[in-house]
Amino acid sequence: MDRNRLHNQVASMRRSLFDQGYLDDQFIQLEELQDDTNPNFVQEVVTLFYNDSARLIQNIEQALNSGPIDFCKLDDYMHQFKGSSSSIGAKKVTNECTAFREYCNAENAEGCIRSFQQVKQEYAILKRKLEVYLQTVRQASQTA
């Protein structure tokens, strides 16, 4: 019974992540790439994303806080960040990145700063949700 409950929980959490727009098709592709030779692919990629992007977020933070803003550099960082977030299917995060880049192109410092708060917020929310989800997936597979 425990096993069924866990599996149902996993399915319901997963469905909700998609329904609420946190994840898109790219995430499904990651799931499809997971197989016997790479049984933890999804977790590995998600971990990679959060490790890599932590650095980028720091860079963006610094760029926003230092004297006259270098919008070119900002756009570069955000381009990378958006590239990664879209690769794992982080839909809301990616959308906020797009909004940020528009402010960047317009050289709107205020807009960039506000937009970046949104990016960080969505990023943190997704991180929490994915942690819980993947932990539940792990538990479910262990009781299989």
- Residue 59 within binding range of other proteins, rule CB under 8 A: no
Q: Within 63-82, which residues bind other proteins (CB under 8 A)?
A: 79-80, 82
> In angstroms, rounded to a whole number, what is the distance separating the alpha carbons of residues 24 and 16?
12
Out of 3, 40, 44, 132, the residue judged to bind other proteins by CB under 8 A: 44
The position carrying tokens 């943190």 is 124
Burial label for 122, CB within 10 Å (0-12, 13-18, 19+), is buried
Q: Is 70 left (phi over 0), alpha (psi -120 to 50) or beta?
A: beta
CB of 51 to other proteins, least distance (A): 8
Out of 33, 72, 124, 132, the residue judged to bind other proteins by CB under 8 A: 33
Interface with other proteins (CB under 8 A): 25-26, 29-30, 32-33, 38, 41, 44-45, 48-49, 52, 79-80, 82-84, 86-88
